[in-house]
Structure 1
Amino acid sequence: MTLPVWFIESGVYGSEIEPLAAEVRRQGMECRFVTYREIVKGPPPLPPGSCAITYGTYPTVRHAMLRLGWTPGGWCSPENLDCAAYYPHFADFLLNQRHEIITGADAIREKERLFRTFGRTGHMFARPTSVHKLFVGRLIAEADFEAALAPTRYDPETKIVIAEPRELGSEWRLVTVRNKVVAASQYAEGGVKSVAPGCPNEVVAFANTMLRTTKWRPDDAFMIDVCESIDGLQLVELNSFSCSWIYACDLVSIVRAASQCAINGRLYS
């Protein structure tokens, strides 16, 4: 059995990433820190066909997945992690059940209609549909709308999600590998960063219900962000495994599950 080599992109996470690297090594695997240039410009640190997991920024991870011939290379499939792709699969669980997907250019032109439909106290929620976010999803004041969506002007086809503002309680990130929640961490409380390990049992139960409801998955490994709202627990969004922060999730479980997933993928690919 060939164990995966983990590649962590340098200069992205600072010293906070050191415990992950240490846990990879503690479990008997090699972990290397690499730069974007090393991955993209080469020479490749491993030959094609190698079992490897890349963790870092979107451009680095996607290059490793698409160009280096590694298995799996990483887990970040933008076509599946686009809101337009996964919203229909998890429609009953969405926080943004009442939403509209529209191009950024059209949203600016139709600003008045959108604020009449989704606006509350002069604000509206907006985010790119893509996992490769041109701007951070947030509440946007009507007066700031054009400026906030300015990054979408470079690509008129860039789509965004428009939704009404929602008041949130706690928010959690759940790491999911091969249909199983393997680790969790709180990351926010009332819209403010608040990190704590684990999550209540009912949050895991909610995620498991989601996973039982549909067989569709964006990747073999991915992140589920869950929040509590006035309507109970709801799905905030899905994120990639390889490009998303893990907060205070249990590293032992993450490394073990992700590494086994990579090994299995290589055996059966």
Structure 2
Amino acid sequence: MNVNWLVESEVFLEYEDELTDAIAQTGRIAKRTPDLGLQYRWQDFPDLYRRLFPENACVVFHGSIGLASELSRGAPWRPTTFCTWENYDCHVYYCRLADYLLNSDYVILPFGELKRRQQFLFDAVGDGARLFVRPNSVRKSFTGQPATSATFDQDIEIMGFYDVPPEALVLVSAAKEITHEWRFVAADKQIVAGTQYKVDGKLVASPDTTPESRLLAEQLAAQYFQPDPVWTIDICRTASGEHRLLEIGSFSCSDLYACDKRAVVEAVSAVASRRWSCGL
């Protein structure tokens, strides 16, 4: 079975050409979506992508959460996306991977309760000065960020800028200092590629990883809990030199940075082909 790839245009511009070249070099077909522009939504123009491949073709998608969500609701191909959304919500995987987590000291509560429960949160998980707050959902309504005791109300207002509903769950933990961040691609319980992507909070994409970060990623990839047959694992190193799990992510929508694109294409295509053959 020939595996096709659908790459959404204008999403991962840094490596879009590199990825499509790797797909072609392995003898597979890569097609890019037309660029809709920010003012349009994919659900308004389904024919623009549905006609790119024959019905029931074996297709792998890589692009935005928006189009991945649309495809998850009813793509005419298989397996298309690797994004079982609920498995990437913090409340689902934190309890399963707690021993590896950076933010293992956490509380989950509704966004609308943050201000009322400020003192409780600082007493429970804070260091007295700073907390870290992020959405529970993988479809992040805001970027995770610190909140200080001195500016707590203002910090929460900034987080809610995009109309976060009060009932939306958020995760609160102690703020921690991170020096390095790496991303690994896991397929069939194996690490198939890795990349550094941040140093001291700044984007520094490099194919270099450390033995410690890869070993931890391999341990996580081999766990009983598998959010999808293919997924991403983010590992960080703290200021004290400890390596911990930062978060997990959907392969379909995760930035691959400096990962070996050919290795990714080969491994993910093998998984997709097998799942297509099994009717999944």
TM-score (norm 1): 0.92
Aligned to 2:173: 163
Aligned to 1:132: 139
2:112 is paired with a residue whose SS is helix
Contact 2:234 / 2:247 at 8 angstroms: preserved in 1? yes
> Which amino acid in the other structure matches residue 60 of structure 1?
L
The Cα offsets for residues 172-200 of structure 1, whole Å up to 9 and x where unpaired, read as: 00011111100000111122222210312
RMSD of aligned alpha carbons: 2.0
Contact 1:8 / 1:31 at 8 angstroms: preserved in 2? yes
Aligned to 1:113: 120
Shift of 1:259: 0.8
Structure 1 segments, 4+ long, off by >6 Å, are none
> Which amino acid in the other structure matches residue 14 of structure 1?
L
Contact 2:187 / 2:230 at 8 angstroms: preserved in 1? yes
2:113 is paired with a residue whose SS is helix
1:127 is paired with a residue whose SS is strand
1:188 counterpart (195, 198, 220): 198
Q: Tell me, yes or no, if structure 1 residue 217 matches structure 2 residue 226.
A: yes
Contact 1:54 / 1:242 at 8 angstroms: preserved in 2? yes
Shift of 1:153: 5.0
Shift of 1:106: 1.4
The 1:219–1:151 alpha-carbon spacing in structure 2 relative to 1, beyond 3 Å, is farther
Residues in 2 aligned to 1:255 and 1:211: alpha-carbon distance in whole angstroms: 18
Aligned to 1:179: 189
Residues in 1 aligned to 2:193 and 2:208: alpha-carbon distance in whole angstroms: 7
How many residues in Structure 1 have an aligned counterpart in Structure 2?
Answer: 267
1:59 is paired with a residue whose SS is helix
The Cα offsets for residues 90-122 of structure 1, whole Å up to 9 and x where unpaired, read as: 110000010111111112321232234333463
Aligned to 1:56: 63
2:108 counterpart (74, 80, 101): 101
Q: Tell me, yes or no, if structure 1 residue 149 matches structure 2 residue 159.
A: yes
The Cα offsets for residues 2-55 of structure 1, whole Å up to 9 and x where unpaired, read as: 222111112222253110111111111111110467963232123432111111
Residues 16-31 of structure 1: matches in 2 within 5 Å?
Answer: 16-31=15-30
* Gapped regions of structure 2 (runs ≥ 5): none
The 1:200–1:208 alpha-carbon spacing in structure 2 relative to 1, beyond 3 Å, is same
Residues 241-252 of structure 1: matches in 2 within 5 Å?
Answer: 241-252=251-262
Q: Judge which range, 30-39 or 96-105, deviates more.
A: 30-39
Residues in 1 aligned to 2:117 and 2:75: alpha-carbon distance in whole angstroms: 43
Aligned to 1:42: 46
Q: Tell me, yes or no, if structure 1 residue 238 matches structure 2 residue 248.
A: yes
The 1:28–1:39 alpha-carbon spacing in structure 2 relative to 1, beyond 3 Å, is farther
Contact 1:76 / 1:241 at 8 angstroms: preserved in 2? yes
2:237 counterpart (220, 228, 237): 228
Contact 2:142 / 2:160 at 8 angstroms: preserved in 1? no
1:109 is paired with a residue whose SS is coil
Contact 2:122 / 2:128 at 8 angstroms: preserved in 1? no
* Gapped regions of structure 1 (runs ≥ 5): none
The Cα offsets for residues 54-99 of structure 1, whole Å up to 9 and x where unpaired, read as: 1111120122232113211111111001111001111100000101
1:67 is paired with a residue whose SS is coil
2:120 is paired with a residue whose SS is helix
2:268 is paired with a residue whose SS is helix
